[in-house]
Amino acid sequence: MAAVALPSDTPLVEALVEDSRWEDLDLESLAERAARATLDRLGLDPLAYEISLLACNDARIAELNEDFRGKPQPTNVLSWPSEERGAARAGEMPHLPAPEPPMPVGLGDVAIAYETCSREAREAGKPLADHATHLLVHGTLHLLGFDHEREGDAELMEGLETEILRGLGVADPYAAMAEGGARVTDG
């Protein structure tokens, strides 16, 4: 079966903006760029996939974090893949979806919290747009089966994030690790 031809301006990311502070950042455009760059890097046609994004605040993401992960505190980003795709062994690529499915496939949902994202960006001395872009790439990779629980998986995921972000003009978010910084953890 041939892939359904969609117009090139078909959005990959469908956003629900619950916290209007995200609108000042034009998060929907950042999310679209981040998701497209991630899929492009992995050889997947961005027109063949869909992602749902919830742009919320700390209170909302804390509820979601408790409901789905049993962690009653806010975090920066959460992801819910539509399908389990994880790798069998640490450091291996996960089982990616077909490069061009016959119709658009929903990859899953991502939620991002304004206060936590803003605070982390400020503490790291980086632009909010750059940090949000990093978290959106990170969340998209989670939807595709990438993880950072095991050392080899973390190295693979962080390497991809760094490469994708470089292509988007965003500095390496893990450079601080060389100076004793901490890895991104989904809290």
Is 142 annotated as a binding-site member? yes
Residues in the chain, overall count: 187
The pLDDT value recorded for residue 31 is 97
The pLDDT value recorded for residue 181 is 45
- The type of residue at 107 is L
Mean pLDDT across 145-159: 92
**Chain position carrying tokens 């760094």:** 162
Domain span including residue 57: 13-84+100-170
Residues 20 and 25: their CA atoms lie apart, in Å, by 10
pLDDT band of 180, cuts 50, 70, 90: very low
Condensed to tens digits (0 to 9), the pLDDT of residues 15-59 reads 999 999 999 999 999 999 999 999 999 999 999 999 999 999 999
Q: Pick the residue with more confidence: 89 or 156?
A: 156
How far is it between the farthest Cα atoms of the chain?
A: 51
The count of structural domains within the chain is 1
Domain assignment present for residue 113? The answer is yes
What DSSP string runs through 88-131?
SSTTS---PPPSS-SS-EEEEEEEEEHHHHHHHHHHHT--HHHH
Question: Which residues lie below 8 Å from residue 41, measured CB to CB, with a gap of 6+?
Answer: 160, 163, 164, 167
pTM of the predicted structure, to 2 decimals? 0.89
Domain assignment present for residue 164? The answer is yes
Domain assignment present for residue 92? The answer is no
The pLDDT value recorded for residue 135 is 98
Residues 132 and 164: their CA atoms lie apart, in Å, by 14
Domain assignment present for residue 91? The answer is no
Domain assignment present for residue 8? The answer is no
Question: What is the DSSP code (8-state) at residue 153?
Answer: H
pLDDT band of 134, cuts 50, 70, 90: very high
The pLDDT value recorded for residue 162 is 98
Domain assignment present for residue 153? The answer is yes
Condensed to tens digits (0 to 9), the pLDDT of residues 59-81 reads 999 999 999 999 999 999 999 99
Is 134 annotated as a binding-site member? no
Domain assignment present for residue 4? The answer is no
Is 95 annotated as a binding-site member? no
The pLDDT value recorded for residue 6 is 44
Domain assignment present for residue 143? The answer is yes
Short-list 17, 15, 3, CA closest to 114: 17
Is the model's pLDDT at 88 over the cut of 80? no
- Which CATH number is 38's domain given? 3.40.390.30
The pLDDT value recorded for residue 185 is 55
